[in-house]
Structure 1
Amino acid sequence: MKKLLLGLLASTLFVSCSKDESEDNGLSNSPTATASYDSKNYGIYKGVFVGSTGTVVINLKNNGTTLSATLVIDGISYVFSSQDVVTEGSNTEITFNHNSDYFNFSVNSNGTSPTISNIHINGHPNATISIGKEESDVQVYCYEGTFTETGGGGTWNLIIYGNKVTGVVLPKDGQVLPLLEGTISNNTITASIPDAATITGTVSGNTITGTWENYDHESGTWKVTRKL
């Protein structure tokens, strides 16, 4: 029942997006995760990248064999691979590599708490990735965008899956911020960057717009567009 409710909630995100609009942008509204891995480490993981901007998809043997990670950074796709051993239903800690670039991926045996760390991608300092596990009835939607603030702004990327919202924000000055965390209900986002700012937003089709305010009462706007 819980997964059914989450799936229904996720589907309401795009109620204002017409069939024609969905077809025009080429984005799928169907999860690709295998149902038998919904509560295991195997499956599909999707997320967003800052340190530039982009998305990531990790295929952890979703078809039983493929082990890969695809990062799209500034519109360019990079395929990472791993030689580490992965066992179904076990805690997983592996390293993905592409030439001299690499990052670590970990997830619990039941598919919870997926995390990407130790990111080293040439030309992309202060890189951070926020990621979530897709399930057969709960798709992960990935958005890229920007935010404004007095004297500047920066990159603002987030993901939505079920009623959860997480994301990464990178100001132009390179300041490293905690992950954005929040929830969505009736197309309205309520979130925060812990010890930094409070956030609200509204989903309209494949676009989300909102405002933020930090603890010094400085404020600004943000806007993201669905990319995956």
Structure 2
Amino acid sequence: MRQLTLTLLLIATLFSCKKDDNNTTNNNNTTPTPYVCPTCVTTPEAKAEHDASSGGVYKGVIVGSTGTIALYLYNTGTEVKALVSFDGKSATFTTQSLSSWAPGQAISNALFTGTIDGKAISAYFSVDANGQNPQVQMTIPGHTVTVAVYKETSTSLIKNYEGTFTGDDAGTFNMTLNGNDYSIVVSSGGILEGSLVNGAIDHLTQKDQVEIKGTFKGDDVSGTWKDTKSTKQGTWSGKRTL
């Protein structure tokens, strides 16, 4: 009887261990939860009344090192400001250039100024009367800066990603996304513009023949790059920060 009891205990123990092993295996196969930007909005901030005018909201990315910019022009009341983040520091920029401006009027080189990390920074903003062709030029001491910016509408949230590319070359890889349209800015300079193909990035630059591919997962984006005229290649990745 004692031997039978020991045998039953051994069988029960083995079954329990096997069950635990199966649970461990199942847990290891669990799909990781996609990254979600904790500070990013999930719906457009832009008001519908500014969708076809120069007023409203504009958002984009900065390279040289890295950052983001968001401009608010009469989106809420008469508030005019630019929120700038650069190399981990942030500030609110103000302007005196738009004191007599009204939504629906074109803007040419409106000067926004602010201070980040003790450095005086200038941002010049221009846009057509209907909100098309927004442009930002920035002056940051010690940096050569490139900015890509889109107008946000009440139906299209602008998402901005900051990241890096590595491999046979390395540097900053930032992107701003407007629906299916994107602008990629890298530290080597220039802005690459294109449209998503089936929700993914599949881009070949016309000048340098660099192939860029990538996919989105939550607020993460990652992919590969390849110089088709040489053997240089690598990977890139970024996270949404605005």
Band the TM-score falls in, shorter-chain normalisation: 0.7 to 0.9
Identity %: 34
State yes or no: 1:227 paired with 2:219.
no
**1:93-104 alignment to 2 at 5 Å?**
93=108, 94-99=110-115, 100-104=120-124
Which segments of 5 or more consecutive residues in structure 1 lack a partner in the other structure? Answer: 1-15
1:164-191 Cα deviation digits (max 9, x unpaired): 0102100xxxx4x220111114331123
Name the CA distance, whole Å, in 2 between partners of 1:109 and 1:66.
Answer: 18
Moved more, 204-213 or 188-197: 188-197
- Give the CA RMSD over aligned residues: 2.1
1:87 and 1:192 map into 2 onto residues whose CA distance is: 40
Instruction: Indicate yes or no: 2:93 matched with 1:80.
Output: yes
Structure 2 residue aligned with 1:92: 107
Tell me if structure 1 keeps the 8 A contact 2:167–2:235: yes
Query: How far 1:120 sits from its partner (Å)?
Result: 1.0
Question: Amino acid of the residue matched to residue 120 of structure 1?
Answer: T
Whole-angstrom CA distance in 1 between matches of 2:97 and 2:80: 9
TM-score (norm 2): 0.78
Query: Are 1:163 and 2:198 an aligned pair?
Result: no
| CA contact 2:215–2:223 (8 Å) conserved in 1 | yes
**What is the CA–CA distance in structure 1 between the aligned matches of 2:211 and 2:106, rounded to whole Å?**
34
Once residues 217 and 70 of structure 2 are traced to their aligned partners in structure 1, the CA distance between those partners, rounded to angstroms, is 24
Largest Rg, 1 or 2 = 2
Q: How far off its partner does 1:148 sit?
A: 1.1
Summarize the Cα distance change of 1:113–1:17 in structure 2 as closer, same or farther, 3 Å threshold.
farther
Query: Are 1:138 and 2:156 an aligned pair?
Result: yes
Task: Please identify runs of 4+ aligned residues in structure 1 that moved more than 6 A.
Answer: none
Q: Name the CA distance, whole Å, in 1 between partners of 2:47 and 2:127.
A: 17
Normalised to the residue count of structure 1, the TM-score between the two structures is 0.82
1:192 Cα shift? 4.2
Number of residues paired by the alignment? 203
2:56 corresponding residue in structure 1:
43
